[in-house]
Structure 1
Amino acid sequence: MTEVTDIQSDSPTANRSMLLKWSWRELWHGQLWPVAVALTLIIACVFALAALVVRVEKIMVDQGRSMIAADLVFRSANPVEQPTLDKAEQLGLVVSQQIRFGTMTFSDEAMQLVSVKSVESDFPLRGELELKSPSGIHHQVQPGELWLAERLFDLLKVEPGDVLAIGDAELKVSGTIVQEPELSFNPFSQMPAVLIHADDLDSTGAIQPGSRVQYRAYFTGADSQLKALQEQVELEPGQRWLSETSQGRTGDVIEKARQYLSLTLILVILMATATLVLTCMHYASTRTEVVAMMKSLGASKKWLWQWLARQLGMLFGLALVAGVAIGALLEYLLRVPLVDVLPDPLPGIGFTPLVVSVLVALLVAIPGMGIPLLKLVDAPAISVIQRMDSWQTSNKGYLLALLPLAAGLLWLGSNGLMWLTLLGLAAILVILAVVGVAIVRGLKRGRWGAAITLALSRINRSPMATGAQLAALTSSLMLLTVIWLLRSDLLADWQQTLPADAPNVFALNISPEQQRAYLDMLDQQQVMRSEGYPVIRGRITHINEEDLLERSQQGDRQERDESLRRELNLTWRDSIPVHNEVVAGEWQATNGVSVESGIAERLGIALGDTLAFNVNSQPFSAEVTSIREVEWRNMRPNFYFIFTPDVMAKLPATWLVSFRIEADQQAVINQLGRDYPTVTLLDLRTMATRIQGIMQQVSLSLSVLAGLGVVSGLLLVMTLLRLSLAQRRDEIRLYRTLGASRKRVSATVWGEYGIMALLAGVMAAAGAEAVVAALVKWGFELPVSWHPTMWLVVPLLSLLLVVLIIRSMINSLLQPVRG
């Protein structure tokens, strides 16, 4: 009992100094450096990812809120009640009101149906309003001003300074609306915009009993204040809250991007956790003899914990400093590809990334390091002279695993997407581990060369160890594959949502006499267009002779659907549009109607049902012959109900066509407006450009995040392989000492890890396909697609990593033990 006994009998100061020096030496010259590297990687990856997530989410939220001109919007069919405004002011929110309505405006030479927006001087609360007059650029509407959408100047034949009549008021045209933050996504309800000040609204006299008017209140403030306002206001029929996540295309993109950001962060943490646990287990196994020796020399558990605590404290401090520094640098490098689409200045990241990275590291490290170290401290002193693979130890250490579990429950809460992912991963990993062990056992029965036979024998020696190793390698490969495949599926969906050649102009109210000539003019100008669609406004009134209005009055939940409170756009065709997909039934030539799947589900419409409609007091009916999937976000003409021609062709209708105008075809729009003054042109180019800009920004951000997740996964896989080979070092050196040739041992190592890599790669591809299919279908609500190339790429990637790691370590592994 020499050194340890002496150390324990020294003064506390000398004892602490000795422990500190020993701990420092153990950290750098022992086996703790792989743990330090793993912990540094965790902190760096989580910090970089969290920082980028914070920035990207702030940017996306800001962009989304700019699209609605506020942080939150209250929309109502009736004037916004004063108690609602009072509650907002009590909560410290900034409030602005708007009233919008459709009316005719008259110049000396023409008239036009327009959408008038009566705004206050502080509008918009978010985003940018750009108004151009002969005197310059303006950003707010002042009393007495009248601002017109650009195409109204041609339609009304006016210039700035001319006078227009809106109702009873005559207002002088101030200039052009160059850009406004809020834009409508519904081509059927969009009219050219006119902006006036709220003080001039009463003078127009345009709002009369029975007028179709929409009232809006805009709010900005802290998220907690906005949430409190929503909770205090009880919505009535005709009222709705609008936020950045409820605005059609952009809302859907932002919400799915948020889900992906959170999911990527979770998956990176999972990969880091698996690596740290295995690294710590490796460290504990290598220090068993050292601990046993110290125990044999009289070291107590308390002294051992002091020895380990100092090492771990220094380790965590070094990993924290290095991890945050590397993470900050990594986050900066990740922003380089986004420099053209990120705003200037960038939103700050605050302390969230630092707090998240530290908490994640602690929650992962406490059980990941604590459980194997508790077992290590219980190592018996006899292990010095007799190697023991297991010994009796307390199971209380496993209670440490409750810490990250409790944190996960608190963090994830009721997030169904996350729980679906985690449960699916757990189930698939267990299945794949069992399948992997079974495959290896099956391979052993075959006839192979000596090296492969020896490799299979080595793998089959410990089924539990093999299963754990395969599960670790497979999980890392599978998680990085999931990150990349989800990113690919999301981007593919968004590209279909608004492709580069999407229509950006709609022409409505084309008379039957004008329809052929109008389409011919578009073709002569080589304008990309859709087919022409006849359009009639009507209501659905009965399903199988059951009155929908009566059911609605009885309070049936289904009948409160918005589609029943307004007239719908109905059309007829000889066939289903090519951009619609029939999911049930089939198109028939006569007495049929094809129904969009969403409204069919909401109203309980099934194949064979008879639907009754009313158009201008003219009733008619048709049988449901097919159900269609419709992508409402692609800016093409889409309809809830499409009839066969015999049902509706005799009813009076106007025609609709959508087309794409390129930057050099502005003259075509002007010519169409002059030649067909009664046709309503809905120019959506500004809206489409803004949406595509947001989607480009989000897409690039998600690609960078996916790249970070994949890189962190690759680093973790390489760490796992290095640890696994390091564990084999003593065994391989023993083979060399006993006379095994370098060639035989080398072939065995290559065979063993080649088999493991191929198995892990194939199982990772299979598992990733299953997880992504479940997430896409039930989490992101997208169509499921398969990725056959991944079944080749992932195994090849796994083999490549094995080749890199083995080649870097093979020489040191093959050195015999020297006496």
Structure 2
Amino acid sequence: MKKPSLIWRWAWRELFHGQLWPVVAALSLIIACVFALSALANRIEQGLTQQGRAMMAADLTLRTTTSPLDASVLTALNDLDVDRSTQTRFNTMVFSQDKMQLVSVKAVDGQFPLRGDLELQGSNIQNKVKPGELWLAERLFTLLDVKMGDPVDIGDVTLRVSGKIVTEPELSFNPFNQMPSVLMHQSQVGEAGVVRPGSRVSYRYFFRGEDSALQDVRTTVPDQPGYRWTDENDSSTTGEMLDRSRGYLSLTVVLVIIMAAGTLLLTSQHYVESRTDILAMVKSIGARKAWVRNWLFRQLLLMFSLAITFGLATGAGLEYLLRLPLTDVLPDPLPSYGIIPWILGPAVAVLVSMPALGIPLMRLTNAPAISVLQSQALPPARKNPWSWMLAAIPCIALVAWSYDNQLMWLVLAALVLMLSLLAALGVGILGLARRHVKHPSLRLALSRITRNPAASGAQLGALATSFMLLSIIWLLRTDLLDDWQQTLPANAPNVFAINIAKDELNDYLGELDGNQLDRSEAYPVIRGRLVAKNGVDYNLSEPNEGRRDESLRRELNLTWQETLPSHNVLLEGSWPEKGGVSVEEGIANRLGLKLGDTLTFMVNSQRFDANVNSIREVEWRNMKPNFYFIFDPDLVASLPANWLVSFRLEGSQTDLVNQLGREFPTVTLMDLRTMSGRIQSILRQISLSLSVLAGLAVVSGLLLLLTLLRISLAERAREIMLYRTLGASKKSINTTLWAEYGIMALVSGCMAVGGAELAMASLLKWGIELPVRLHPEVWLSLPPLAVTLVFVTVAMMIRQLLQPLKS
């Protein structure tokens, strides 16, 4: 058997007994992190997408309030590779033997739902609606005083009650448009005779299929006024959460790559510095540059082979460990992450290693042979055109991959800016401190740090940037979760009561307070239209109704209040004075409304004017009563109104819904507990996902920090020997080292706080559009944490560094 050549044996020796194992570890870290994060992010995104689609009962939904789709369009849709379900929705009165009730009828076919769960409980459990069946929301049994098998009339058709609706997808957030729902089969709508010309009916078409087929559906259906397409990104409040969580996942992957690349770069440079003299000696005994390149190439081949093997194996195990906390919230069966992570991990490692590993090794091949006799500096990388090319390749790949990820580019821009500013600021602070410190050990520590401003600035900037990245990842996660928790807090109202008459308002509120329910204040509600601005009717300014804003095509819920609602924020103006109206920010922007405009409204055929006196910010996702327009009470209080109140019911208080329905039969109760629970489930899933990913990113940052300190301490070995030779005591050297690294940790921690706050301000304002705020918790915790981490790391390494001092 042929023995391996000398060059291979030396390559193996360098790999296992030299300085290359940290390079293999850094490459393995990049591959493992990219694999684990991309695979987990893929699964999380698929899970979140499935949750979003389950809440809309399909992959894609078309809603029209004008007319059903033409037969020719439906025929064309039959040729596409998609599943389709049709629903007709309308409000009507239903009649039992003794009572009647206004309900929301959902007439569905046998395919509904295409996504999500529909659970119907009758003589047995089923999940499809069949002809001849009528399924009721639970409280309708009380309101109509019926039981299973009793007849209920809907228009001209009589249906037997088949059972109750336990769970259903496609739940809405608008409390004003919800009524107790019933399910019947689509085929019996015509027989009922309740849908006639002029009836207020909406038609919904549900589609399920591949993304390309769904795009074909959009193309096949002609664009018409009144048509509205909905997918999982905009079907509900979860759409915004999905977008922001995707951006955070992508950002976390990129920052982990950056920190792992920093680890690789530092390790590679340390290896080059440690092998310069060896390569110079090899060249001095006759080795040519081609031989050196061949030697380095074989080492690279070995490194990448081992790194890919260990990295992929570690990444697969890491992905499994990361999703263990998410077992209860990830979909079952678990979606596959495909082949992309297996390719992406090694590809990213190769791209990152081109400049991080390639440029130092190219400099190493140019090590002059004369370095054996006299130390010579390696030629700078900037003079080699290949260095620029190697640095450009991963940059081009990053642009091609994430050119549209605004969140990531904001962080990278802030990172580059902060690195320069923090390095310069740190050197300036330490230089100023050096002039005023008198203690010998502190003066020596400051002298060592500031002796080479460029090197000191780079080291301080690298430490500060590491702490800053860790802070950004954690603070961004915290701000996102805080925003979502405020959107739907644990005590959010989950039941709305509307149509409360004024003469029964006090009794109704007294019943709620008597049962110790957490409720909102009561709001009067009138229905009206916005018809003109500054004397110009919208009918004249935009004759085509289909092109007008949605708020101009329907009646709006209007109210009046003497004080600003506690969950609204006043942005401009003052609370409405006499004859004034407060306008929600979103509709003000869409309609071009500003302070001082005169708006004309129509309520019950009565027109009246109101001046815009204020603009409010409204959080529509918090499931509290919110309104586009809030009037001065003196302006509209004389108009007939019903009242609205929201409150929270716990799971053990279900019977109270039926009790309120019996005592106040004219009040409409909308029970949103199922929908609220669903949103809370998605929030828990996103929270766990972001926490797991943030934790992994923190681990990557700590590895970068360890590498920085390990290399820095290794550079101190010769200086410590020199100090010892000159007579310095072990105590003096020990004190100086602790002072040096303590000062560096404290300064870099303080700089990281400022950098993180500036970066977070940019991210919150322009990246994810959240309110900008300071984070006092990071000011108090990060500098001490930085000092603690550095001291713990130094303590693990300093004993070996001071070993030569022992007698």
TM-score, structure 1 as length reference: 0.95
The equivalent residue for 1:416 is 406
The equivalent residue for 1:219 is 207
Q: Contact (CA 8 Å) 1:734, 1:817: kept in 2 or not?
A: no
Task: Find the partner of 1:563 among 522, 535, 551.
Answer: 551
d(CA) in 2 for partners of 1:267, 1:407: 15
d(CA) in 2 for partners of 1:709, 1:409: 22
In the TM superposition, what whole-angstrom CA distance separates every residue of 1:181-202 from its partner, at most 9, and x where no partner exists?
A: 1101100001111111122121
d(CA) in 1 for partners of 2:472, 2:348: 21
Task: Find the partner of 2:325 among 334, 337, 346.
Answer: 337
Q: Contact (CA 8 Å) 2:136, 2:164: kept in 1 or not?
A: yes
DSSP-derived class of the 2:715 partner: helix
The equivalent residue for 1:4 is none
2:113 is equivalent to residue 95 of structure 1: no
d(CA) in 2 for partners of 1:82, 1:355: 47
Q: Contact (CA 8 Å) 2:266, 2:707: kept in 1 or not?
A: no
2:121 is equivalent to residue 132 of structure 1: yes
The equivalent residue for 1:3 is none
In the TM superposition, what whole-angstrom CA distance separates every residue of 1:461-502 from its partner, at most 9, and x where no partner exists?
A: 222212221222122211111111011111111111111111
Matches within 5 A, 1:109-188: 109-134=98-123, 136-188=124-176
The equivalent residue for 1:276 is 264
**Range with bigger deviation, 443-452 or 284-293:** 443-452
The equivalent residue for 2:520 is 530
d(CA) in 2 for partners of 1:44, 1:759: 32
2:509 is equivalent to residue 519 of structure 1: yes
Task: Find the partner of 2:458 among 468, 478, 498.
Answer: 468
Q: What's the CA shift for 1:89?
A: 4.3
The equivalent residue for 1:774 is 762
Deviating beyond 6 angstroms after TM superposition, the runs of 4 or more aligned structure 1 residues are none
d(CA) in 2 for partners of 1:309, 1:517: 85
DSSP-derived class of the 2:374 partner: coil
DSSP-derived class of the 2:407 partner: helix
How many residues are matched? 804
**Change beyond 3 A, Cα 1:81–1:379:** farther
In the TM superposition, what whole-angstrom CA distance separates every residue of 1:433-484 from its partner, at most 9, and x where no partner exists?
A: 2211221222222233222222222222222212221222122211111111
2:568 is equivalent to residue 549 of structure 1: no
d(CA) in 2 for partners of 1:81, 1:794: 63
**Range with bigger deviation, 780-789 or 182-191:** 780-789
Q: What's the CA shift for 1:101?
A: 1.3
Instruction: Specify the code of the residue in structure 1 equivalent to 2:119.
Output: E
In the TM superposition, what whole-angstrom CA distance separates every residue of 1:160-193 from its partner, at most 9, and x where no partner exists?
A: 1111111221111111111111101100001111
**Change beyond 3 A, Cα 1:445–1:528:** same
DSSP-derived class of the 1:778 partner: helix
DSSP-derived class of the 2:42 partner: helix
In the TM superposition, what whole-angstrom CA distance separates every residue of 1:573-593 from its partner, at most 9, and x where no partner exists?
A: 111111111111121442211
d(CA) in 2 for partners of 1:448, 1:69: 73
Q: Contact (CA 8 Å) 2:364, 2:378: kept in 1 or not?
A: no
**Range with bigger deviation, 42-51 or 699-708:** 42-51
Q: What's the CA shift for 1:411?
A: 0.8
Q: What's the CA shift for 1:818?
A: 12
Q: What's the CA shift for 1:82?
A: 4.5
Instruction: Specify the code of the residue in structure 1 equivalent to 2:649.
Output: I
Q: What's the CA shift for 1:265?
A: 1.2
**Change beyond 3 A, Cα 1:284–1:91:** farther
2:612 is equivalent to residue 624 of structure 1: yes
d(CA) in 2 for partners of 1:818, 1:38: 33
2:495 is equivalent to residue 505 of structure 1: yes
The equivalent residue for 2:736 is 748
Q: Contact (CA 8 Å) 1:165, 1:171: kept in 2 or not?
A: yes
**Change beyond 3 A, Cα 1:371–1:560:** farther
The equivalent residue for 1:407 is 397
Instruction: Specify the code of the residue in structure 1 equivalent to 2:448.
Output: R
**Change beyond 3 A, Cα 1:817–1:386:** farther
Instruction: Specify the code of the residue in structure 2 equivalent to 1:790.
Output: V
Q: Contact (CA 8 Å) 1:98, 1:216: kept in 2 or not?
A: yes
Matches within 5 A, 1:299-338: 299-338=287-326
Q: Contact (CA 8 Å) 1:507, 1:681: kept in 2 or not?
A: yes
2:194 is equivalent to residue 206 of structure 1: yes
In the TM superposition, what whole-angstrom CA distance separates every residue of 1:664-686 from its partner, at most 9, and x where no partner exists?
A: 22222111111211111111111
DSSP-derived class of the 1:95 partner: strand
In the TM superposition, what whole-angstrom CA distance separates every residue of 1:294-321 from its partner, at most 9, and x where no partner exists?
A: 1112222221111111111211222222
Q: Contact (CA 8 Å) 2:77, 2:220: kept in 1 or not?
A: no
d(CA) in 2 for partners of 1:778, 1:221: 35
The equivalent residue for 2:601 is 613
DSSP-derived class of the 1:667 partner: helix
The equivalent residue for 1:241 is 229
CA RMSD of aligned residues (A): 2.1
**Change beyond 3 A, Cα 1:546–1:806:** same
Which 5+ residue runs of structure 1 have no aligned equivalent? 1-10
DSSP-derived class of the 2:566 partner: coil
d(CA) in 2 for partners of 1:201, 1:800: 71
Q: What's the CA shift for 1:208?
A: 0.7
The equivalent residue for 1:391 is 379
**Change beyond 3 A, Cα 1:438–1:83:** farther
In the TM superposition, what whole-angstrom CA distance separates every residue of 1:538-574 from its partner, at most 9, and x where no partner exists?
A: 111222223223222379x9x7321111111000011
d(CA) in 2 for partners of 1:53, 1:428: 28
**Range with bigger deviation, 638-647 or 458-467:** 458-467
Task: Find the partner of 2:339 among 328, 331, 351.
Answer: 351
Which 5+ residue runs of structure 2 have no aligned equivalent? none
DSSP-derived class of the 2:532 partner: strand
Q: Contact (CA 8 Å) 1:737, 1:816: kept in 2 or not?
A: no
Q: What's the CA shift for 1:384?
A: 1.5
d(CA) in 2 for partners of 1:82, 1:291: 80
Q: What's the CA shift for 1:659?
A: 0.9
d(CA) in 2 for partners of 1:251, 1:351: 27
Instruction: Specify the code of the residue in structure 1 equivalent to 2:505.
Output: Q
**Range with bigger deviation, 226-235 or 385-394:** 226-235
d(CA) in 1 for partners of 2:77, 2:220: 10
In the TM superposition, what whole-angstrom CA distance separates every residue of 1:1-56 from its partner, at most 9, and x where no partner exists?
A: xxxxxxxxxx9x77x62111110110122111221222222222222222221221
The equivalent residue for 1:484 is 474
d(CA) in 2 for partners of 1:360, 1:81: 50
Q: Contact (CA 8 Å) 1:572, 1:644: kept in 2 or not?
A: yes
Task: Find the partner of 2:621 among 606, 611, 633.
Answer: 633
Instruction: Specify the code of the residue in structure 2 equivalent to 1:746.
Output: N
d(CA) in 1 for partners of 2:761, 2:333: 39
The equivalent residue for 1:599 is 587
**Change beyond 3 A, Cα 1:357–1:381:** same
Task: Find the partner of 1:26 among 3, 14, 27.
Answer: 14
DSSP-derived class of the 2:176 partner: coil
d(CA) in 2 for partners of 1:791, 1:433: 19
**Change beyond 3 A, Cα 1:234–1:743:** farther
**Change beyond 3 A, Cα 1:192–1:605:** same
d(CA) in 1 for partners of 2:544, 2:420: 51
Task: Find the partner of 2:52 among 64, 68, 74.
Answer: 64
Q: Contact (CA 8 Å) 2:247, 2:405: kept in 1 or not?
A: no
Q: What's the CA shift for 1:507?
A: 0.8
Q: Contact (CA 8 Å) 1:736, 1:816: kept in 2 or not?
A: no
Q: Contact (CA 8 Å) 1:96, 1:122: kept in 2 or not?
A: yes
TM-score, structure 2 as length reference: 0.96
d(CA) in 2 for partners of 1:374, 1:87: 62
**Change beyond 3 A, Cα 1:269–1:507:** same
Task: Find the partner of 2:94 among 99, 105, 123.
Answer: 105
Instruction: Specify the code of the residue in structure 2 equivalent to 1:115.
Output: S
